[in-house]
Amino acid sequence: MSQTSSGPGVAELQDELHSLRTLLSASLILMIVFITVINFFLLKQVSTLRAQAELLDTESNTFNSAKAVDYWNHLVVYARTHPDFAPVVNKFGPYLNETLLGNNLPKQ
């Protein structure tokens, strides 16, 4: 049996259904655009971070540790002759990389 309903209520419901379908389609399209933009942004960030990581890797491979040790040794000697600078050396001394400095610190 087929029901044919005609009346003001059915036309209103059909209009609401059409507007809901339009709203759902628009929402899906906007979500796809948003996801595409986010993916593009993340791809750009990854490529930028990769370039920065390569630069840091290059810098760490070309780091002149002899100059760093020499500079630190001069700061230690300076701190011994200028007691007001000793807190600075004491503050940053524990954070130095032990493998970099080793036992190259000047003797008292």
User: Contact, 65 vs 100, CB < 8 A?
Assistant: yes
pLDDT 10s per residue in the chain (108 long)? 445 566 778 989 999 999 999 999 999 999 999 999 999 999 999 999 999 999 988 887 777 777 877 888 888 889 889 989 888 888 887 777 454 555 454 555
User: Contact, 101 vs 72, CB < 8 A?
Assistant: yes
d(CA 90, CA 77): 13
d(CA 72, CA 89): 9
